[in-house]
Amino acid sequence: MSIDAFLITCEHGGNRIPASCRSLLHGYEALLETHRGYDPGALLMARELARSFAAPLVTSTVSRLLVDLNRSLGHPQLFSQATRDAPATRRTQLIEQHYLPYRQRVEHLVRQSVSLGRRVMHISSHSFTPVLDGKVRHADVGLLYDPDREGEVELCARWKTLLAAGAPELRVRRNYPYAGKGDGLTSYLRQRYPSDAYVGIELEVNQGIVRTGGPRWAALRGLLTDTLHTACASELPVPGAFHSTAK
C-alpha cells in the first residue's frame, strides 16, 4: 500500500513560556536555552518538510519544561523538574491548556485521513543534544521507528540508504539515540491505528549541526526532504502481504 497522506509535527519547537506560567519556571530560567527547554532546529525542519509535502503541520513553541507533549499522561517525565512538584490543580491546567489541544489536533488529523481510507505517513521532527550526561552521541541523524512494523522498517531502511548515497560522510543511525518503541506520540498513535493505516517516524537531528548553522545545516535539511520524497515514492509493505524471497 502506498502513502496517501502526510502529517508533520513538532512537539518541542520552542522555549516560550506564557506570562501566566512564568512563576513556575523561577530558578529554572537558564534551562530554557538548553536541550531541556526545546529542540533547536526541529521547528524549521518541520516547516520545510510540511511545505515540501504540502502536508498539515502541527507544532508547539511552548517549552517542554512546562509539560512534555511527547510523553503519555502519567509518564514520569510528562512534567519537568520545574513543574512536577507544582500543585495538582496547576498541573491539570497545563495539561488542559497545552497538552490536550495539541494531542487532540494531531489525532484528529490522523483519524480524518484514516477514515477516508488513506495510509498516513507521520514525521515527528526532533533534535538531540550531542552530549548527554557526559556521553557523546555518535550520530548526525537518527531515524526512530517500531521494528515490529514492517512499513516503518522498510521506510527507514530506504531513507538511510538514500542519505548514505547523497552524503556518505553523514552518520545516520536507526533507533538512535533513542529507541523508536519508547514512549512518545508516534508510539501512542501506533496503539490506535494498524500499520496499514499509520506509519510513524521520529526524525532526530544532531543539535551540533543546527547550532553551527550555515551551509551544512541548510544542505542537510534539503537532503532529508529530497531523500524522504524518494523513499516514499514506491509502495511500503503491509502486514500479510506476500514478499518473494527469490534472488
Domains along the chain with CATH numbers: 5-231 (3.40.630.40)
Q: Are 32 and 15 in contact (CB under 8 A)?
A: yes
- pLDDT for 240 beyond 60: no
On the question of pLDDT at 246 being above 70, the answer is no
Average pLDDT taken over every residue of the chain:
94
Confirm if 211 and 33 have CB atoms less than 8 A apart.
no
The pLDDT value given to residue 244? 31
Q: Rounded CA gap, 47 and 50, in Å?
A: 5
Q: What is the dihedral of CA 168, 171, 172, 178, to 10 degrees?
A: 180
pTM, rounded to two decimals: 0.94
Q: Per-residue pLDDT for 241 more than 70?
A: no
Cell digits of residue 17? 513560556
Instruction: Outline where 116-183 has alpha helix (H).
Output: 150-166
pLDDT value at 243 more than 90:
no
Give the list of residues 6+ apart from residue 6 with CB closer than 8 angstroms, or none.
53, 54, 55, 56, 120, 121, 122, 123
| Beta bridge pairs of residue 16 | 62
Tell me the one-letter amino acid at 107: E
Q: Is the pLDDT of residue 11 over 70?
A: yes
Q: Using omega within 30 degrees of 0 as the cis cutoff, is the peptide bond preceding 177 cis?
A: yes
CA-closest candidate to residue 81, choices 124, 116, 45, 36: 36
Average pLDDT over residues 230-246: 62
For the segment 79-91, the average pLDDT, to the nearest whole number, is 97
CA angle, 18 then 96 then 182, to 5°: 95
User: Is residue 226 within a helix (H) or strand (E), and if so which, with residue range?
Assistant: helix 214-231
- Assign residue 134 a region (left: φ > 0; alpha: ψ between -120 and 50; beta: otherwise): left
Q: What sign does the CA torsion over 200, 67, 192, 106 have?
A: negative
